[in-house]
Chain A
Amino acid sequence: RKEVEQDPGPFNVPEGATVAFNCTYSNSASQSFFWYRQDCRKEPKLLMSVYSSGNEDGRFTAQLNRASQYISLLIRDSKLSDSATYLCVVRGAGSYQLTFGKGTKLSVIP
């Protein structure tokens, strides 16, 4: 089983739609969780960290379920500029290594 699994997509959604991405991780010792965004042929950039209580940043909401080892990202009112690949990332306590999922590709269509 891969350490971090994501639905690769692509997700093709119209502008204004709400879209949700899911991610599962296999290492129960994972301590930190993130969503990174990667535009085509660009470097990954941190979108948001994911906290146990869930957190929101504008149109983006992230949730963590430690018992099910499951992370989600919800994007409301999708914009054309949200088109990118979204990477689910986990990290063990005190570990320097980030473990990346393969990414979920989102295309927002006019």
Chain B
Amino acid sequence: NAGVTQTPKFQVLKTGQSMTLQCAQDMNHNSMYWYRQDPGMGLRLIYYSASEGTTDKGEVPNGYNVSRLNKREFSLRLESAAPSQTSVYFCASEDNLAKNIQYFGAGTRLSVL
């Protein structure tokens, strides 16, 4: 019963490098989300995908791109990493708004030097 799986768990990048954070869910959920969590801040929404084939910006989308590859997978790409993107990134999924429960992955800890 995997739920929401994120890879990698840890990553260190140099400024300017690119990488893609992967997220997959096995609960047949429609909606998927990417958040970042920084010390002293609440979780902030980067992008979300309400359903397969759609993506929308959240509160802090600058510097990121996303792809909803299929219903299961939602990836987050950093094209040119900056130290300000050092954070813990969480992916989440949700069946539908009526259920009103988001399930989170274990997170990816990213450091940009």
A23 shortest CB reach to chain B, Å: 11
- Asked if A58 lies at the interface with its beta carbon under 8 angstroms from chain B, I say no
B75 at interface (Cβ–Cβ under 8 A)? no
- Count residues of B near A (Cβ-Cβ below 8 Å): 22
**Contacts A43-B90, A43-B106, A43-B107; is A91 near B42 (CB within 8 Å)?**
no
Contacts between the two chains (Cβ within 8 Å), count: 43
Write the chain A residue with the least CB distance to B105: A43
Residues of B within 8 A of A91 (CB): 100
Over the window 47-68 of chain A, the binary record of Cβ atoms lying under 8 Å from chain B Cβ atoms (1 yes, 0 no) is 0010000000000000000000
Minimum CB–CB distance for A84 against chain B, Å: 14
B-contacting residues, A65-106, CB 8 Å: 87, 91, 94, 96-103
Residues of B within 8 A of A94 (CB): 97
Chain A, interface size category, equals 20 to 34
Taking beta carbons and an 8 Å cutoff, which residues of A are in contact with B? 4, 32, 34, 42-46, 49, 87, 91, 94, 96-103
With A91-B100, A96-B31, A96-B97 known, 7 other A-B pairs at CB within 8 A are A34-B100, A42-B107, A96-B33, A96-B56, A97-B58, A100-B44, A102-B42
